[in-house]
């Protein structure tokens, strides 16, 4: 059995029979930055790396290296694979070691990421902050996808969702091309983590910006998920669930096509619809 799924005993009602069920694994992961600060006045060795815990996320174990890389990229800490000299995970603690001379802006990190819809961040301030740190522009016309190709994506994604098939409780994020072919997919108990894994893998492979790829989400498209997609400069985000109002605002501001309620026969296009063409009447 995969380390993303665990077996538990349950009592079925009606009937009262004791049976085995499968649950998605959820464990904490401590995300740590290691860096050297030449301005350190504490008297410590300036060449001795400082380790700073930035966040603790509840995630499904596996692909912790790409999760960490995706998280720190979408938070604006790193901008190129060369910014990282090593990533190591021991006992649910992932340390990302930064290259010499790169000192993270910890004040930016204090409230730069958005953990949930009640974080109290002003929408206008959030949009302005994102535009200030996004490393790539969202491309214009070249990414054109047919409605028919998009509508086939949910079924294709299901074939790649092994943890979801076993548990019914894992989110997924996938990368697809203009032909509607899924090229990679990641699962996690957290929708943000699934997307960070996807973007982190592309980041470490030197594939950013994602100007020739769209991103597919198995659930809803909240502001923070559009924000991460914007950082990777993907021109299209398609979600099987609904977007939020601020997510739509950000998609329009960024020139990104945002699709929600993606189904086999229908979809809602919330922004920049010109990237989607209908081949059949």
- 10-residue mean pLDDT profile of the chain (281 residues): values are 81 88 92 87 68 94 97 93 97 96 80 40 52 77 91 95 83 96 96 97 97 96 95 97 95 96 96 92 60
What is the C-alpha to C-alpha distance for residues 187 and 202, in angstroms, rounded to an integer? 15
Q: Is residue 198 part of a domain?
A: yes
**pTM (2 d.p.):** 0.89
Task: Determine the 3-state secondary structure of 84 from DSSP.
Answer: strand
pLDDT value at position 207?
Answer: 96
- DSSP summary character for residue 265: S
205 and 90 in a single domain? The answer is: no
Burial class of 230 by CB neighbour count within 10 A (0 to 12, 13 to 18, 19+): buried
Last residue of a domain, one of 79, 103, 119: 119
154 and 228 in a single domain? The answer is: yes
pLDDT value at position 139?
Answer: 81
104 and 156 in a single domain? The answer is: no
73 and 193 in a single domain? The answer is: no
Q: How many CB atoms lie within 10 A of CB 183?
A: 11
pLDDT value at position 131?
Answer: 59
207 and 107 in a single domain? The answer is: no
Q: What is the CATH number of the domain that holds 227?
A: 3.40.140.10
Q: How far does the chain reach from its first CA to its final CA, in angstroms?
A: 46
**Is 119 annotated as catalytic?**
yes
Structure-token pair, residue 181: 């072919």
Catalytic hit among 36, 119, 122, 272 = 119
Structural domain harbouring 213: 145-277
> Closest Cα partner for 251 from 227, 231, 268?
227
190 and 84 in a single domain? The answer is: no
Task: Report how many domains make up the chain.
Answer: 2
Residues 34 and 96: beta-carbon distance below 8 Å: yes
172 and 266 in a single domain? The answer is: yes
- DSSP summary character for residue 221: B
Output b/e per residue, 91-111; b: 16+ Cβ within 10 A. Answer: eebbbbbbeeebebeeeebee
Q: For the chain, where are the E strands, in sequence order? A: 5-11, 18-24, 27-35, 50-59, 84-89, 93-98, 145-146, 171-176, 182-188, 214-217, 236-239, 257-260, 268-271, 276-277
In terms of DSSP H, where are the helices of 205-254?
223-231, 245-254
167 and 92 in a single domain? The answer is: no
Question: What phi, psi does 182 have (nearest 5°)?
Answer: -75, 125
């Amino acid at each position: 059995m995969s380390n993303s799924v665990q077996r538990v005993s349950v009592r079925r009602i009606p009937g009262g029979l004791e049976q085995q069920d499968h649950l998605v694994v959820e464990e904490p992961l401590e995300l740590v930055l290691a860096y050297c600060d030449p301005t350190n006045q504490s008297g410590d060795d300036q060449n001795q790396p400082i380790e700073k815990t930035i966040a603790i996320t509840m995630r499904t174990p596996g692909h912790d290296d790409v999760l960490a890389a995706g998280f720190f990229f979408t938070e604006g800490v790193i901008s190129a694979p060369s910014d990282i000299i090593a990533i190591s995970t021991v006992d649910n603690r992932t340390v990302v070691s930064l290259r010499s001379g790169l000192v993270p802006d910890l004040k930016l990190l204090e409230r730069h990421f958005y953990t949930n819809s009640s974080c109290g961040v002003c929408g206008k301030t959030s949009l302005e902050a994102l535009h200030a740190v996004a490393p790539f522009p969202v491309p214009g016309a070249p990414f054109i996808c047919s409605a028919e190709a998009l509508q086939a994506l949910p079924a294709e994604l299901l074939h790649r969702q092994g943890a979801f098939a076993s548990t019914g409780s894992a989110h997924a994020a996938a990368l697809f091309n203009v032909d509607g072919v899924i090229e990679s997919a990641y699962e996690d108990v957290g929708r943000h983590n699934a997307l960070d894994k996807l973007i982190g893998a592309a980041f470490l492979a030197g594939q950013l910006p994602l100007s020739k790829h769209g991103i597919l989400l198995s659930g809803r498209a909240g502001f923070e998920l559009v924000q991460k997609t914007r950082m990777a400069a993907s021109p299209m985000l398609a979600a099987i669930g609904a977007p939020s109002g601020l997510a739509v605002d950000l998609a329009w501001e960024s020139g990104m096509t945002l699709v929600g309620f993606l189904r086999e026969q229908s979809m809602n296009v919330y922004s920049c619809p010109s990237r989607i063409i209908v081949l059949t009447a």
